Amino acid sequence: MGSVVALDEFRRSIRYGGQKPQSPPRPKISGGEIWGRNYNEVEAIVFGLLKVRGIVAHHTGEHDKAFDQLCMISLQAAYSVESGGTANLKEAIRPLKEWILDETTDENKRDMSWALVIIDLIEKSPTK
């Protein structure tokens, strides 16, 4: 198993010319800012998904295109909840939750818990 990790590190060092890529900065997480938003509004949903994206990117070390695509699918489902229904929103958000849970470790569990709270707020407060 150790050789696989070493091989991945070797590939990264070749890809980035021996320099380790910079991890995205840790987003500012404020409980008041998160709880104070009305997730019935599209602006709050965009804020929440961008915050979740920033948290995940910081702890995984990069912005993942697949995760970004899941965020866009969730945004579309939240935006069209009137026509698609809440079942469509829950179905779109499920992969985001699974991704966050898969990336959660003892070191990042506090931030990832905030990400899950934001996702739950989006899911439980569909737009009207």
- The string of pLDDT tens digits covering residues 61-79 is 888 999 999 999 998 988 8
**Whole-number pLDDT of residue 102:** 94
Give the pLDDT band (50/70/90) at residue 25. confident
**Structural domain count of the chain:** 1
Taking residues 23-50, report their average pLDDT: 89
Residue 95 lies in a domain: yes
Report the chain's mean pLDDT, rounded to a whole number.
85
d(CA 7, CA 33): 42
Instruction: Read off the tokens for 29.
Output: 């997480």
If one compares 78 and 117, the residue with the highest pLDDT of the two is 117
Domain assignment present for residue 12? The answer is: no
Asked whether residue 18 is domain-assigned, the answer is no
Is the pLDDT confidence value at 39 over 80?
yes
> Domain containing 101: what range?
24-124
Closest CA to 122 of 84, 83, 96: 96
What is the value of pTM for the model shown?
0.78
How much of the chain exceeds pLDDT 70, in percent?
81
Residue 19 lies in a domain: no
Percentage of residues in the chain having pLDDT higher than 90: 48
- What amino acid is encoded at 83 in this protein? S
Q: Please say if the pLDDT value at position 2 is more than 90.
A: no
85: left (phi over 0), alpha (psi -120 to 50) or beta: left
Does 105 reside within a domain? yes
Q: Report whether pLDDT(15) > 80.
A: no
Q: Is residue 15 part of a domain?
A: no
**Angle at CA of residue 20, ends 18 and 21, nearest 5°:** 125
